[in-house]
């Protein structure tokens, strides 16, 4: 007869009870429908979702049903492991609504283009792609971007001097019927003919350090567009040619912001000045000329572009203009009257320019400025 101490028996019973409880919990989760499990797994980083496949036979394929995929690479990661992970994910994932790809290491452009094309062909609602290295889009990837993205609602491309050659359109324009948000950074577009892009429901347009290398015009038709943000550093602003006009056809712009290094790199045109009647306008220009080429006639170009841009906001009520140091009194004289302007926020400004702007603003209520030497 074996005598077992009572305390040990209680401990064993407790362990058994805990194991049963844990098993019961696992069973409860495992019995959930696939759609619910995939929804839960979509809140995890994709790599963690993939790891759940080792839990049991029931979980082997659950991660392939997730609708949100994040392929984010951290700097110290083994590149071959990341390549294998990306291929496995793209091969096995069935249907995706949101796709994120962020690369911190340098890969062959052909490889990355294959990934991006695969992502675009899945026709998700949201795409977010970023890299710190130069990766030009292939002809196939460019074609997919402009022709296979009708379901897309949000497009974010954070690239580094990424060349995209816009394919010719058979009907003369491209349509992004469901796109609401577009954020582009570090893109160099090349077009061989005038380009029209129609955004039926676009509300937010953001473009940082992007260039359109063409002598033709680009027209953005976005009747519901509310926010426009354009930013150019000196490097991107120096890319030529600068003759390509960017035209916005919109009717209800609420915020317009342009931030640039010394100059407005390319002409920006609104189809109708009344489209920005209710907009809050911000224009910021750095007056550091050191990084600019062709400085001798640059002042003339800057003043000309400023006049063209500011004339289109003659009906707005609020302007923040932190570029007064590049304005001259003769340039101000060329501006249209700001008949509805009630709030004007200036940076450092000379007395002559300030007086000229006041003459152009008959109903001004609020004026903020700093007198320059």
Strand ranges inside the chain, DSSP E: 68-72, 98-103, 126-131, 154-165, 174-176, 181-190, 195-199, 204-208, 211-213, 218-221, 227-232, 246-249, 255-261, 268-270, 280-286, 318-322, 343-349, 366-371
Q: What span, in angstroms and rounded, lies between the C-alpha atoms of 178 and 219?
A: 18
pLDDT of residue 2: 43
For residue 12, what pLDDT is reported? 37
Q: Which residues of the chain carry a pLDDT beneath 50?
A: 1-13, 15, 24
Element (H, E) at 79: helix 79-92
Q: Residue ranges of the alpha helices (H) in 312-348? A: 329-333
Please report the pLDDT score of residue 70 as a whole number: 92
Those residues whose C-beta lies under 8 Å from the C-beta of residue 104, and which sit 6 or more positions away, are 73, 74, 75, 131, 132
Query: Is-contact 264 258, C-beta < 8 A?
Result: yes
What is the pLDDT, as a whole number, of residue 176? 95
The pLDDT of residue 15:
46
Measure Cα distances from 15 to 7, 11, 12 in Å.
Answer: 12, 6, 5
The alpha carbon torsion through 301, 302, 303, 309 (nearest 10 deg) reads 110
Bridge partners for 98 per DSSP: 68, 126
């Amino acid at each position: 007869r074996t005598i077992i101490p009572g305390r040990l028996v209680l401990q064993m019973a407790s362990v058994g009870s805990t194991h049963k409880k844990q098993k019961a919990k696992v069973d409860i989760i495992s019995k959930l429908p696939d759609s619910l499990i995939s929804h839960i797994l979509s809140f995890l980083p994709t790599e963690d979702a993939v790891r759940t496949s080792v839990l049991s036979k029931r979980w082997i394929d659950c991660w392939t049903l997730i609708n949100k995929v994040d392929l984010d690479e951290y700097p110290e990661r083994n590149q071959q492991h990341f390549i294998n992970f990306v291929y496995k994910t793209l091969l096995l994932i069935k249907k995706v609504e949101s796709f994120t790809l962020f690369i911190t290491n340098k890969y062959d452009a052909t490889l990355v283009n294959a990934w991006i094309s695969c992502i675009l062909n899945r026709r998700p609602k949201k795409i977010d792609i970023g890299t710190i290295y130069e990766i030009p889009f292939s002809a196939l990837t460019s074609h997919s971007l402009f022709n296979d993205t009708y379901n897309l609602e949000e497009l974010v491309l954070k690239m580094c001097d990424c060349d995209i050659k816009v394919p010719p359109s058979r009907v003369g324009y491209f349509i992004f019927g469901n796109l609401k948000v577009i954020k582009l950074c570090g893109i160099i577009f090349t077009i061989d003919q005038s380009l029209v892009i129609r955004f039926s429901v676009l509300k937010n347009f953001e473009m940082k350090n992007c260039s359109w290398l063409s002598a033709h015009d680009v027209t953005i038709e976005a009747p519901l567009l509310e926010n426009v943000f354009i930013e150019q550093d000196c490097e991107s602003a120096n890319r030529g040619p600068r003759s390509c006009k960017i035209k916005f056809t919109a009717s209800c712009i609420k915020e317009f912001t342009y931030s640039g290094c010394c100059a407005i790199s390319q002409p920006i045109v609104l189809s109708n000045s009344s489209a920005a009647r209710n907009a809050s306008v911000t224009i910021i220009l750095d007056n550091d000329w050191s990084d600019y080429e062709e400085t001798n006639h640059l002042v003339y170009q800057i003043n000309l572009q400023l006049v063209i841009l500011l004339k289109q906001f003659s009906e707005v009520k609020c302007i923040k203009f932190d570029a007064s140091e590049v304005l001259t009194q003769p340039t101000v004289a060329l501006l249209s009257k700001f008949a509805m302007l009630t709030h004007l926020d200036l940076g450092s400004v000379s007395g002559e320019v300030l007086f000229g702007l006041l003459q152009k603003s008959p109903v001004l209520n609020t004026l903020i400025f700093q007198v320059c030497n």
